[in-house]
Amino acid sequence: METLVNGFSTINPATGEEIKEYEYMTTDEAIGAVEKCHKAFKEWRLKSLDERAKVIKAIGEELKKNKEKFVSLMTQEMGKVLKQSGQEIDLCSAICDYTATQGIKELQDEERELPNGGKGLITYSPIGIVYGIQPWNFPAYQAVRYSIANLMAGNGVLLKHSSGVTGSALLLKEIYEAAGLPKDLFTVLLIEHEQSDKIIEHELVRGVTLTGSPDAGKIIAEKAGAELKKTVLELGSNDAYLVFDDADIELAAKTSVQGRIYNNGETCVAAKRFVVADKVYDEFRDAFVKAMKEVKLGDPTIEDSDLGPMAREDLRETLHEQVQQSVHKGANVLLGGKMPEGKGFYYPATILENLEPGQPAYDDELFGPVASLIRAKDNKDALRIANDSRFGLGGGIFSKDEEKAFDLAKKYFDTGMVFINSFGLAQPNMPFGGVKNSGYGREHGGFGIREFVNVKSIMKVNM
């Protein structure tokens, strides 16, 4: 994304060339958009659950109709390979289908008899406008994830998307309205950070959700908290995938490569640290390096490319600096680690080992195709290392004893999500979110539908 005097332009990360120029809204225009969204909300909130579900279902169908167009645009704007752009749209459609069905169940009124024989009614009423601040790595999914749940709940939705994927944000608005969503109920705000503060402060905005870094989360939570507004925060992680001494090494290596390079390695819940029991460390390392060497870095529009460019030049520079700092502090480079020459913001599949606390590759989130390989004494020590993190979004366990793996994940893994003999992708019917510095609140699985509602008690008490 390149900043202009009164606007910005989106940049193709595969070439470094400009895609399109956009103008920022004035603050008055942004405030006006909030007011229009609220006006649309006042009518939408009165729609029945069945009426809302019908529109949500139609959005899923409209996404399917526009799949090819959306796939091409996403790949152009942020560099993911075409196949994975297609998978993202499929997931968004599935979220619409799930929400249209499950939302009716989650939002039904509940009757309760009071202790003295009176009558009680619980409703899940919409609260108003929910403001979402979303990143670039999943241009469609990040916006769909929170907006569909809140539209089903009867709320209005504002989206401040990452500037680099503005085209995707505007296309999503077109798709929503083509499916029958009332105009202005879902509104894209082309604004800067200073203007965003005014949106959070606006009295018509009742909730704020952010996907981003822990530092951004602290800032948004503080600003929203000062206005007594609820937040949901998903703040990334350095997810540990544990290779136990009874793991299927071939499966673990293959899956770990997929988990690390998926979406060009730019996924909050990606596999990032690979903690391996000493007994199988050498075997896994050799298999992992071999499999990562086979990853094809190249033009994301070419079918046989496994790994495209990073989304922005500054992101690539930050990642490379983290690699260099880790090496300076004692890490070894097993594969990759060198900045490519030529056009585009490419970075090779990279593996670092000899990692320990104090190195960025051990402590921090490396948002790109760099894997951190860590040796553990045994399975118990692997769990200790996994939890020895300020983050807690996801993680994984590789073990042939899946029953044991599920039990350990349940009792000891201090994260919001754990994947057994697989890597982390969102599922519409399973909750998504983390703990510790990875944030709070949940999306998906029916839980996100109730994050921004007024759980209202209505009672007739016998006196």
By annotation, the residues acting in catalysis are: 234, 268
Cα separation, 374 vs 48, in Å, equals 53
Residue that is written with structure tokens 């609220």 in the block:
38
Is the separation of the CB atoms in 205 and 34 below 8 Å? Answer: yes
Cα–Cα nearest to 421, from 248, 171, 265, 272: 248
Long-range contacts of 22-31 (CB under 8 A, 24+ apart): 22/163, 22/166, 22/190, 23/190, 24/190, 24/191, 24/192, 24/195, 25/189, 25/190, 25/191, 25/195, 27/191, 27/195, 27/198, 30/189, 30/191, 30/195, 30/198, 30/199, 31/198, 31/202
Is the separation of the CB atoms in 366 and 272 below 8 Å? Answer: yes
- Between CA 447 and CA 25, with CA 43 as vertex, the angle to 5 degrees is 85
120 φ, ψ to 5°?
-125, 145
Computed on alpha carbons and rounded to an integer, the radius of gyration of the chain in Å comes to 23
199 φ, ψ to 5°?
-70, -45
Is the separation of the CB atoms in 140 and 165 below 8 Å? Answer: no
Starting at the earlier edge strand, list the strands of the sheet with 2-3.
2-3, 7-12, 17-23
